[in-house]
Amino acid sequence: MTADDSRRSAWRDRTRLVHSGRVPEEQFGFVNTPVYRGSTVLFKTMAEQTSYDGRFIYGTKGTPTTEALAKAWTDIAGAAGTVLLPSGLAAVTIALMSCLKAGDHLLVTDNAYRPTRKLCDGLLKGFGVETEYYDPMIGGGISALLRQNTAAVLVEAPGSQSLEVQDVPAIAEAAHKVGALVVMDNTWATPFFFPPHERGVDLAIEAGTKYLGGHSDILLGLVSANERAWPKLAAAFEATAPCPGPEDCFLALRGLRTMLLRLKEAERQALDMAHWLAARPEVKTVLHPALPSCPGHEIWKRDFKGSSGLFSVILNPVPKHAVAAMLDGLRLFGMGYSWGGFESLVISFDPSAYRSATRWNPGGPALRFQIGLEDTEDLKADLDEGFARLRAASR
Ligand SMILES: *Cc1c(COP(=O)(O)O)cnc(C)c1O
C-alpha cells in the first residue's frame, strides 16, 4: 500500500465519490476515463501473451472504463471486489448463481423484487435449486428455516414495493452459523445509506439503473462481494462474461459523481411528500421506512443512515376505477416502472397473487411513488387534483 492508498481508505463518502476510480495521469491528464471500446488487446511479445497476467488481456476481462467503475464501487461499497452487469436483474442472477448448485436450498424473502422470484421459480428450479420463501419480518427466527443444505439467504431491505425493512444483521448471524451466504438486494438504500458488508452481507446487489444512472437512460447492475464471497463471484463472472456496454459504464461513472447529492435530495423530497400524504384523508397508511407506520421502522432507525426517494401508500378502500381516475389524469407524475431518475413516477401494485409465505392484505389499494427533483409544491398540486378525481369517481 502506498502512502496515497492509506489516506484513501480514510476518505469520507463524498470525497470517495469524487476521487474513486479516477487516474487522470493515465488519461493524458483528462479528468474522466473515456469510453474504451475493445475486444482485442495486443501484446508486444509471446511471453506477454502466454503469461496471462497483464492488466488488460481481453475485453470481457475488463477495460479502463469498466475497471474505473468497478474499482470506484468496490471502494464505495467497502467490498473486496465488484462485477458489472448489463442490468440489475442480471446482477441478481450472477449473485445467486455464484453461490448455488444443484441440490442446494435457497431462502428468499417474500417481498423480493418480482423478477427475482421468477428467476428462482424458473431457471434456478430447473438447475435443481429449491427456493423457500420466508416472512420479511422473520429476523433471527430464520434459524428455524435453515437447513444443512441452505447455501444462501436472499434479503431485500426494504422491499421495493411493500417497503418492509428486514433485520439483516440478525438474519446474517443465523445464516453464517450454518455456513450460508447472505445475498442482499441493496438497491433502495445504496451503500451510502446501508453499508452492506459492514452489516453481514456477503454479496450485495445494486441495480445501477436506479440511483447510479440517475437519469432513466441506462440499464446496469453491480454486485459487490466481501473477501469470503469474492472468489465465487469472480469465477461465476469469468465463466459467463455478461459484460455491460462501455457507454453505459461511462454514464454510470458520470452519474456516480453526483449520486449522493441526488440521493440526499431525493430523501428530502420524498420525506416531504410522505408526510403530506400521511395527512391526506384518502390515505390509510404510508409505507416509508422513516415513518413509524412502516413495518421495520425501528430496524431502519438502527441500521440505516438515510432513506431514498421510493415509498408506497395504502389508500382507504375505493373502487379500482376511482384509482384509475386519479392516476390517468396526473400531469407531473409519470406512470412507469423503475425509479431513481430525476422525474417523479407512480404505479399501482398488488403482490397478493404471488406472495406465498405471507398474506398481502393491506386493506386498500396500494400505490408506489418515486419522488424526483420537481418542486414538491407542484407535485402536491398534481396529486391534490388527482385525489379530487378519485373522490368524484368513488361517489
Ligand atoms: C429495478 C430493480 C432491479 C432490476 O434492475 P434492472 O436494471 O431493471 O434489471 C432489481 N432489484 C430491485 C429492487 C429493483 O428495483
pLDDT (tens digit per residue) in 333-371: 999 999 999 999 999 999 999 999 999 999 999 999 999
Q: How far is the CA of 91 from the centre of ligand 1 (A)?
A: 9
Q: Which fold does the domain 260-394 belong to in CATH?
A: Aspartate Aminotransferase, domain 1 (3.90.1150)
Q: How far is CA 95 from the centre of its chain?
A: 13
Query: Residue range 212-240: average pLDDT?
Result: 98
pLDDT of residue 4: 54
List alpha helices for 304-340, DSSP H: 320-328
pLDDT of residue 8: 72
User: Has residue 9 got a pLDDT over 90?
Assistant: no
Query: Residue range 162-179: average pLDDT?
Result: 98
Q: Which atom of ligand 1 is nearest to the CA of 209?
A: 7
The band of 1, judged by pLDDT with boundaries at 50, 70 and 90, is very low
The Cβ-side half-sphere exposure at 91, using a 13 Å CA radius, reads 28
Return d(Cα 263, Cα 241) in angstroms, integer: 31
Closest CA to 200 of 228, 167, 172: 172
pLDDT of residue 319: 97
Cell numbers given for 181: 451466504
Q: What is the pLDDT of residues 40-73, one digit of tens each?
A: 999 999 999 999 888 999 999 999 999 999 999 9
Best residue among 186, 187, 370 to mutate for probing ligand 1, ranked by most atoms within 8 Å of CB: 187
The band of 138, judged by pLDDT with boundaries at 50, 70 and 90, is very high
The band of 11, judged by pLDDT with boundaries at 50, 70 and 90, is confident
Q: How far is the CA of 128 from the centre of ligand 1 (A)?
A: 25
Q: Where exactly does CATH 3.40.640.10 map onto the chain?
A: 3-256
Ligand 1 neighbours, Cβ below 6 Å, are 87-89, 92, 113, 160, 185, 187, 207, 209, 219, 221, 338
The band of 395, judged by pLDDT with boundaries at 50, 70 and 90, is confident
DSSP, collapsed to helix, strand or coil, labels residue 219 as: coil
User: Has residue 383 got a pLDDT over 70?
Assistant: yes
The band of 5, judged by pLDDT with boundaries at 50, 70 and 90, is low
Cell numbers given for 288: 416509508
Cell numbers given for 61: 476481462
Q: What is the pLDDT of residues 94-123, one digit of tens each?
A: 999 999 999 999 999 999 999 999 999 999
Closest CA to 113 of 146, 165, 162: 162
Return d(Cα 275, Cα 265) in angstroms, integer: 16
DSSP, collapsed to helix, strand or coil, labels residue 77 as: helix
Q: Hey, whose CA ends up nearest to atom 15 of ligand 1?
A: 160
Return d(Cα 326, Cα 324) in angstroms, integer: 5
Best residue among 89, 310, 311 to mutate for probing ligand 1, ranked by most atoms within 8 Å of CB: 89
Best residue among 108, 209, 310, 339 to mutate for probing ligand 1, ranked by most atoms within 8 Å of CB: 209
User: Has residue 139 got a pLDDT over 60?
Assistant: yes
DSSP, collapsed to helix, strand or coil, labels residue 229 as: coil
Q: How far is the CA of 88 from the centre of ligand 1 (A)?
A: 5
Decide: 174 and 140 in contact? Cβ < 8 Å: yes
Q: How far is the CA of 363 from the centre of ligand 1 (A)?
A: 27
Q: How far is the CA of 284 from the centre of ligand 1 (A)?
A: 27
Closest CA to 244 of 28, 104, 11, 37: 37
> CA quadruple 169, 174, 175, 178: dihedral positive or negative?
positive
Q: How far is the CA of 207 from the centre of ligand 1 (A)?
A: 5
Q: How far is the CA of 339 from the centre of ligand 1 (A)?
A: 9
Return d(Cα 97, Cα 237) in angstroms, integer: 10
Non-local (6+) Cβ contacts of 225 within 8 A are 79, 80, 81, 82, 202, 203, 204, 232, 233, 234
Cell numbers given for 34: 473515456
Q: Where exactly does CATH 3.90.1150.10 map onto the chain?
A: 260-394
In the chain, % helix, strand, coil (3-state, to 5) comes to: 45, 15, 40
Task: Supply the pTM of this predicted model.
Answer: 0.96
List alpha helices for the chain, DSSP H: 3-8, 13-19, 46-51, 64-77, 88-99, 114-119, 125-126, 168-177, 190-193, 230-240, 246-278, 297-303, 320-328, 376-394
Q: Hey, whose CA ends up nearest to atom 6 of ligand 1?
A: 88
Q: Cell 441452505, residue?
A: 150
Domain 3-256 has CATH 3.40.640.10: yes
User: Has residue 132 got a pLDDT over 60?
Assistant: yes
pLDDT of residue 300: 98
Decide: 219 and 248 in contact? Cβ < 8 Å: yes
pLDDT of residue 3: 43
**Average pLDDT for the chain:** 96
Return d(Cα 368, Cα 309) in angstroms, integer: 11
Closest CA to 247 of 20, 34, 40: 34
User: Has residue 195 got a pLDDT over 70?
Assistant: yes
pLDDT of residue 43: 96
